[in-house]
Amino acid sequence: MSDEPTDIVFSALHRMQANGVRLRASLDTCEGLRVTASAAGTAPRTPARTASPATALGAQPETRRASTPAPRIELPPASEGKSTQSVPSNSTAFASAKAAQLDALRGPVLACTKCPQLVQSRTQVVFGVGNPDAEVMFVGEAPGADEDLVGEPFVGRAGQMLTKMITAMNLRRADVYIANILKCRPHMPPGESGNRKPEPAEMNVCKPYLLRQIEIIQPKVIVALGATAVEGLLGIKNAGITKMRGTWKEFHGIPMMPTYHPAYLLHNQSHTEKRKVWEDLMAVLERLGDEITAKQRGYFLTK
């Protein structure tokens, strides 16, 4: 056995268990979490604090960020058994516990049949993607045709714009979590193509899944993308996104920043509109305590 800190902890836990101390998570459970962590690619992360001097909406950050271990998330219940494998560090254990909880939720969501029409028309359910331990969670309205095919939120043109927004924040898609209120593509009337907005009733049926995702991830900030997402999250009508964007709201105790939907920026490519969204995202970075470089502060300022 090596004298790695994890091995020392593991052997201490082993001795405690041998002496009759009942551990909340068994050694096997810890090993299971370690395996889940490596399978889910949730290696230990370092918070990104310095923005790289990269091009606006095209930056390639070098570091990943994750939230600090969240005390509300508990390890899965104890089971019997012994192992001589090493135990993960605390933050990895919390992150992998979140990954395991998201995995447990994924099954029922993918098998959901609550909206018979959407079940008929969908190719697949779009669960959500990203870092289970993310500090920032982006919430959109519903999958479109591209997302329905790929099974991942925001992979179409609007998704590419969202990726640019995330990159400008000096983050990567893998650092944040991305999900929609509605997990199935809203079906289109026969003979019609394109995407439609989800109905409030559809969002209400699906919202508990998003709530559970948020409860597991415990992001520090939620970014609500567009009026429909704001309406769905807050349960209001006519959000008036023009007025609401840029002003902090709260969703289940979590600070929420409403901003324009990335699709809006595809149709309104002016620096003025991009700057508005960028100011909302800078407010998010400030809330997280991240450094914003002078170059970042200047993005989309009209000369």
Strands 129-130 and 177-180: antiparallel
Choosing from 32, 128, 153, 232, the residue that interacts with ligand URA (CB under 6 A) is 153
| Shortest reach from residue 215's CB to ligand URA, in Å | 21
CB-based contact 139:229 (threshold 8 Å): yes
Is residue 222 a contact point for ligand URA (CB under 6 A)? no
- Residues 39, 50: Cα–Cα separation, whole Å: 29
Select 25 or 134, whichever has its Cβ closest to ligand URA.
Answer: 134
Is residue 140 a contact point for ligand URA (CB under 6 A)? yes
- Residues 23, 25: Cα–Cα separation, whole Å: 5
Is residue 177 a contact point for ligand URA (CB under 6 A)? no
Instruction: Select the residue whose beta carbon is closest to ligand URA and give its number.
Output: 140
CB-based contact 122:195 (threshold 8 Å): no
Choosing from 32, 128, 130, 143, the residue that interacts with ligand URA (CB under 6 A) is 143
Select 170 or 180, whichever has its Cβ closest to ligand URA.
Answer: 180
- Residues 99, 289: Cα–Cα separation, whole Å: 25
Is residue 141 a contact point for ligand URA (CB under 6 A)? yes
CB-based contact 16:71 (threshold 8 Å): no
Select 156 or 219, whichever has its Cβ closest to ligand URA.
Answer: 156
Is residue 241 a contact point for ligand URA (CB under 6 A)? no
Q: For ligand URA, how many residues bind (rule: CB under 6 A)?
A: 11
- Residues 220, 243: Cα–Cα separation, whole Å: 23
Cα dihedral value 219, 220, 225, 229, nearest 10 = 70
Residue 57 gets the label, from left (phi > 0), alpha (psi -120 to 50) or beta, of left
Q: 247: part of which helix (H) or strand (E)?
A: none
| Shortest reach from residue 172's CB to ligand URA, in Å | 17
**Which stretch in 58-66, 141-149, 244-252, 279-287 sits in contact with ligand URA by CB under 6 A?**
141-149
- Residues 57, 156: Cα–Cα separation, whole Å: 17
| Shortest reach from residue 143's CB to ligand URA, in Å | 5
Select 37 or 203, whichever has its Cβ closest to ligand URA.
Answer: 203
- Retrieve residue 206's tokens: 């699906």
Select 19 or 269, whichever has its Cβ closest to ligand URA.
Answer: 269
Select 32 or 219, whichever has its Cβ closest to ligand URA.
Answer: 219
Residues that bind ligand URA (CB under 6 A): 140-144, 147, 153-154, 158-159, 180
